Amino acid sequence: MIIFMGVAGSGKSVQGRMLADEKGYPWLSTGEFLRMLISGQKRKDMLHGKLISDKEMLQIVQKIFSMVDVSQEFVLDGFPRTSEQADWLVNQVKHGLLKISAVLHIQASEEVVRDRLLGRGRPDDHDDAIAHRFKEYQGAILPILEQFKQAGIRVFEINGEQDVLLVHKEIMGVLPE
């Protein structure tokens, strides 16, 4: 599995899809699955930028993983988002149930991210939610990247502020063949 991580708007989904299409891998986006599967008050909360619980997220991820052959390479976008989720994933790797080939950390500044998110026009993309996501990213995602490094998982830092094709070229340059 190749994991794409970064703040919302950094280009994870664009790059994840590009890589999946080029290599013929399944592209699994937890955000897309959540938008398909969550309804009612939880959906309203999600559209206001709130995360679902770790327990619920792990149940959804297990369902997602049951739909693909996890012994084959695939692209994962949007997971993990908390330390508990990262612990679960690292545990799966330690027990030989999953394999992480690489973690691609797509980096972009708050200004670039804000411009991109406001430009895509989704209801959960507004100034307050964007500021909250950036704080969440700094408080949760950056420590998760450290967890991965400490577990011996390769993390590659990618400049997500470049042109889309240059970002893709940088990704292709760091991935193992």
pLDDT tens track for 101-129 = 999 999 999 999 999 999 988 887 888 88
Q: Which long-range contacts (CB under 8 A, 24 or more apart) does 116-120 make?
A: 116/9, 116/11, 117/8, 117/9
3-state secondary structure 66-118: HCCCCCCCCEEECCCCCHHHHHHHHHHHHCCCCCCCEEEEEECCHHHHHHHHH
At residue 157, the pLDDT reads 97
- 10 pLDDT exceeds 90? yes
Phi, psi of 102 (to 5 degrees): -165, 150
At residue 129, the pLDDT reads 84
Residues 6+ apart with CB under 8 A from 137: 6, 7, 8
Q: Which CATH architecture group holds 2-174?
A: 3-Layer(aba) Sandwich (3.40)
Which pLDDT tens digit goes with each residue over 13-26?
999 999 999 999 99
3-state secondary structure of 24: coil
The DSSP letter of residue 3 is: E
pLDDT band at 44 (very low <50, low <70, confident <90, very high): confident
pLDDT more than 70, % of the chain: 98
